[in-house]
Amino acid sequence: MAAGKTVTTTSEILVKRVYTPKDLEEIGFQYDRDLGEPGQYPYTRGIDPEMYRQDLWVMGQYAGFGSAEEANERYKFILAQGGTGFSIALDLPTQIGLDSDHPLARGEVGKIGVAIDSLRDMEIIFDGIPLDRVRHIRTSACSIGPLALAWFLAVMEQQGVSPQRCSIILQNDVLKEYPVRGTQIFSPQPALKFAVDTIEYCARELPGWQPLMVSGYHFRDAGANAVQEIAFTYANAIAYIEETLKRGVPIDQIAPTIRLHFCASMELFEEIAKLRAGRRMWANLVKERFKAQDPRSWIFRHHSGTLGGNLTAQQPFNNIVRVTIEALSAILGGSQSLRTSSMDEAYAIPTEEAEKLAIRTQQIIAYESGITKTVDPLGGSYFIESLTSKIEEEANRYLQRIENMGGAIPAIESGFIQHEIDENAYRVQKEIEKGKRIIVGLNKFETQEKVAIKTFRSNPQTAIRQVERLNKIKAERDAAKVHSALAEVKRAAASDENLVLPILKAVKTYATIGEICDQLREVWGEYRPEAIRF
């Protein structure tokens, strides 16, 4: 490397040629305040004194496709391969509250996740999978949190399982949908209210559940950098907390039920430092700003996912190496659970073979690499500690800008967050096109070889069978009970009361997701984005 060359991280943080004790002196680093012991405030080194020496992270996979029967088979396969949890991927119609027979659902039923029209589908998904025997079950229900909660509660009742014995994580993070994903249904304010209904219910009735996974992963997949990922995630978390506090729920009942979801990307040291900074920021945010007294509230409960957007269709076997590096960054950074991408995700949802390899990647790291033998093995590194503090500083600067706008919702509605992500994504793309950022097999070391891997092919009969099941359910259920329950959902939405119990009642009558969401659409309308004002 040429002398004097300017080198930065992917977040444009300057990286020096070498780091020494002087760098820590310059940032005023104090061991007890900034680092401390693992399992102690501010948790920079990890949330548990023993970390992986005592208990490995949850090895979960994100999966689900086609019909409920096909998803059930895939989840059983994951568990049989040693997975200890999984996340239910929902198809797009389900995510936006449409039944499988809706005209807009055509061509999307069961495509990128499993179709769930009614409680009947959830019954099939968990047939032979006792809900109290899996360490973590997550779902990507972002705009339909109370519906996902109701489905789980109803299935548990049928299985004779107490909800108190289960560990269910509901993503339920609708605010990130507006700038980066687009599966929102309602405008931000009623959507926030809908999400908080789930948080409030679980905080009061199911304190062992996690009814909110505030997600930075999707910001990153859309083009944000590591600093933006933390800042935008915490801005949204603040909005959820403040709205729940207005319901009279104490902070020490809210904070312990929140989980954070960050990506694990390719720049190893920056990703490790990001997670360490995230833990310290969360502890300070909840303790200092929200005055939480319970140490459980200060803990950064965190799930990592290796970043699918980094995978390439060119030379797909290279993706095995990428996923390994990303998984290392998550574990060296102290994640409590991890989902590893499969090498074929640049083409379609994973095949069983690719899914098995993704699980084996985690298992090899856990049992063969030796990195689990000591806690926070990179703690005290001049570079890591300097980078951790710099990421914290830059993320807090972003948070202050959002605070000055009035918080997350004004920042979303003005287009600020989307604009910042788009600007960074454009910069990165230009660097790739100019060869300043090397992607092996894409813009350097290219070959003309033909791809020789099997890829997933969806069953063209899935949508037909799904609509047939939907019609059968509608024909067999008690129509009068359905009509009465749906009327109660609409009345509750208009009165601003918590919707979890009215929706649970409707779910038990086999009211469909489209029917329930249509009642809410009649009260709240649908979101139509305005022109960006930022």
DSSP element (H, E) containing 244: helix 226-245
pLDDT per residue as tens digits for the range 405-417 = 999 999 999 999 9
Contact partners, residue 135, CB within 8 Å, separation at least 6: 58, 84, 85, 167
Q: How far is CA 452 from CA 230, 317, 482, in A?
A: 38, 10, 51
Cβ atoms within 10 A of the Cβ of 165, count? Answer: 12
For residues 457-474, average pLDDT: 90
Q: Domain-by-domain residue ranges, the chain? A: 23-403, 462-524
Q: Strand locations in 189-256, DSSP E?
A: 212-215
Two tokens at 57?
């992270």
Identify which of 274, 256, 241 has the alpha carbon closest to the alpha carbon of residue 175.
241
Cβ atoms within 10 A of the Cβ of 464, count? Answer: 12
- pLDDT value of residue 532: 53
**Partners of 55 in beta bridges:** none
- pLDDT value of residue 158: 94
Cis omega before residue 42 (within 30°)? yes
By the 8 A CB rule, do 263 and 306 touch?
yes
Between vectors from CA 312 to CA 307 and to CA 317, what angle results, nearest 5°? Answer: 100
Cβ atoms within 10 A of the Cβ of 192, count? Answer: 21
pLDDT per residue as tens digits for the range 448-462 = 878 778 887 777 888
pLDDT per residue as tens digits for the range 115-137 = 999 999 999 999 998 888 776 78
Over the range 40-71, which residues count as b (16 or more CB within 10 Å of their CB) and which as e?
bbbbbbbbbeebbeeebbbbbbbbbbbbbebb
Q: State the architecture of 23-403 in CATH terms.
A: Alpha-Beta Barrel (3.20)
By the 8 A CB rule, do 85 and 337 touch?
yes
CA distance 507 to 69: 20
CA distance 47 to 58: 15
Report residue 139's pLDDT band, with 50, 70 and 90 as the boundaries: confident
Q: Taking the model in full, what pTM does it have?
A: 0.94
CA distance 478 to 162: 27
pLDDT per residue as tens digits for the range 51-89 = 999 999 988 776 667 789 988 988 888 888 887 777 788
- pLDDT value of residue 1: 46
Residue 163's identity, in one-letter code, is P
pLDDT per residue as tens digits for the range 274-312 = 999 999 999 999 999 999 999 999 999 999 999 999 999
